[in-house]
Amino acid sequence: MRFLRAVCFIAPLVAGVQVDRRGREVYHGYKVFRVLTDGDTADFEAQLESLSAIELSRNRGHIDTQHFDIAVPPESLDAFHALNYEAETLTEDLGADIALEGELEPFPGLETSVSGANANAKVAAAAALPSFSWFSAYHPYADHLTFLKSLQAAFPSNSELITAGTSFEGRAIQGIHLWGSGGKASKPAIYYHGNVHAREWITSMTVEYITYQLINNYNNDTAVKAVLDNYDFYILPIVNPDGFVYTQTTTRLWRKNRQTRSGTTGAPGDTPENTGIRTYGDKLGAGKGIKLYIDWHSYGQYILTPYGYSCSAKAPNQSRQDTLAKNVGAAIAQVHGTRFTTGQTCSTLYATAGGSNDYFTDVTPAELAWAIELRDTGTNGFTLPANQIIPSGEESWAGQKYLWANF
């Protein structure tokens, strides 16, 4: 099964793409550039295609920060330089960068299921939390599911595993629901999505870090107890499992899901994954309502408030949202000095159609509907070294704690 799948993935690769012995693309000799374009996006996008370059990120916000980050394959470097764009080199060798991410490490394999005498007990005994060493490496998809199960087993009376629909390739979109002393689903929701974009591995690790610390600190940190007693958390660390798996087996920089498309509509909910997480959000909205929604992305270090679709439209409580975002940024910076830029999506980053924070502002309203772009600002980009997982978790945790105490 595994083998057949690998064959299917390798077959469509174009000639010239190098793969390692496990069929994963390697990016030896690719250089990453930050290119300043003069607003002529369409022309630039056409050039990217002719160079077989990979678009990593773009910023179309303020005129003085507009840029594209792109990875250019070695055979196109001369052609790229001949175009004479104003460009800064971010990475000399993307292949070497990816090596710094480290190997995918299997889950330490704790047997956390309650067995024997405990299985018959009326109240399941809490297992120990999984080892914190989880956050020292990136991990295969299957191990993320085991990790979630282990978190649940460590907080058995205040959590359950949840599923928000099914991916294109048939994987359940899994997550965890945590609650406090009021009991299950008795409070407004805090709803987090990670890894909407497949290649943004730091997002699932960071969202899992926050989940871990919520459970770890519930009994001894009054602020954590307060937020869990006042809100129900619904946390989906990997909402694009097919794409995530594909980045691990084949194409590290894959962004989307794995649906074959003939002409995309771009409308919200046009993939099974979007439909699943949107429907789940609608259910939360119709229940106790949503206090906070965050769509976790990387990279760029931004905290983004609504709207994406328009640079002039104002969301409810816009100035309060923007002030909160700024203060969250300050709380983050206190931990390791990491600077996040904050502001409205459209004017800060680029105009987006069908963005999830717009949806959760207008359609199923969350009081705060944000997107956060995690580390870094381009040095390592999507392939953030594993030794930054814990610092990213620590600063994000501090930012969320500020937000929960002040929203």
Active site residues: 373
d(CA 230, CA 182): 8
**Residue 221, binding choice from ligand NAG, Zn ion, none, Cβ under 5 to 8 Å by partner class:** ligand NAG
Sketch the per residue contact string, 232 through 271, with ligand NAG: x for CB under 6 A, - otherwise: ----------------------------------------
35/389 with CB nearer ligand NAG: 389
DSSP 117-168: HHHHSSSPPPPPPPPGGGGGS---HHHHHHHHHHHHHHSTTSEEEEEEEE-T
**Residue 160, binding choice from ligand NAG, Zn ion, none, Cβ under 5 to 8 Å by partner class:** none
| Contact window for ligand NAG (CB under 6 A) among 66-74, 214-222, 283-291, 303-311 | 214-222
Give the residue from 125, 225, 192, 223 showing the smallest Cα distance to 360.
Answer: 192
Q: Residue 149 — φ and ψ, nearest 5°? A: -60, -40
The 67-72 sheet, strands edge to edge: 54-59, 67-72, 31-36, 86-91
Tokens describing residue 259: 């649906």
Tell me: does residue 217 bind ligand NAG (CB under 6 A).
yes
Choose which of 41, 216, 318, 347 interacts with ligand NAG (CB under 6 A).
216
Residues 6+ apart with CB under 8 A from 366: 189, 191, 285, 290, 291, 292, 293, 360
| Contact window for ligand NAG (CB under 6 A) among 103-111, 160-168, 313-321, 385-393 | 313-321
46/286 with CB nearer ligand NAG: 286
Distances (CA, A) of 115 to 110, 129, 131, 381: 13, 17, 20, 43
| Contact window for Zn ion (CB under 5 A) among 49-57, 116-124, 293-301, 337-345 | 293-301
Choose which of 77, 367, 390, 391 interacts with ligand NAG (CB under 6 A).
367
Choose which of 144, 187, 297, 375 interacts with Zn ion (CB under 5 A).
297
295/394 with CB nearer Zn ion: 295
Distances (CA, A) of 40 to 37, 66, 68, 153: 6, 11, 11, 53
Choose which of 81, 316, 353, 405 interacts with ligand NAG (CB under 6 A).
316
Q: Do 76 and 51 form a contact (C-beta atoms < 8 A)?
A: yes
216: number of Cβ within 10 Å: 16
Number of residues that bind ligand NAG (CB under 6 A): 8
Binding residues for Zn ion restricted to 188-247, rule: CB under 5 A: 197
5/320 with CB nearer ligand NAG: 320
DSSP H stretches of helix in 218-317: 222-230, 241-249, 272-286
Choose which of 65, 264, 279, 317 interacts with ligand NAG (CB under 6 A).
317
Q: Which residue has the tokens 């004017």?
A: 347
Shortest reach from residue 306's CB to ligand NAG, in Å: 11
H or E element: which one contains 7?
helix 2-10
112/167 with CB nearer Zn ion: 167
**Residue 197, binding choice from ligand NAG, Zn ion, none, Cβ under 5 to 8 Å by partner class:** Zn ion
Q: Do 299 and 376 form a contact (C-beta atoms < 8 A)?
A: yes
Tell me: does residue 362 bind ligand NAG (CB under 6 A).
no
Strands (E), 185-267: 189-193, 232-236
Q: Indicate the residue whose CB is closest to ligand NAG.
A: 316
Choose which of 89, 115, 220, 262 interacts with ligand NAG (CB under 6 A).
220
Tokens describing residue 229: 């007693």
Site residues (vs Zn ion, CB under 5 A):
197, 297
List interacting residues with ligand NAG (CB under 6 A): 216-217, 220-221, 316-317, 320, 367
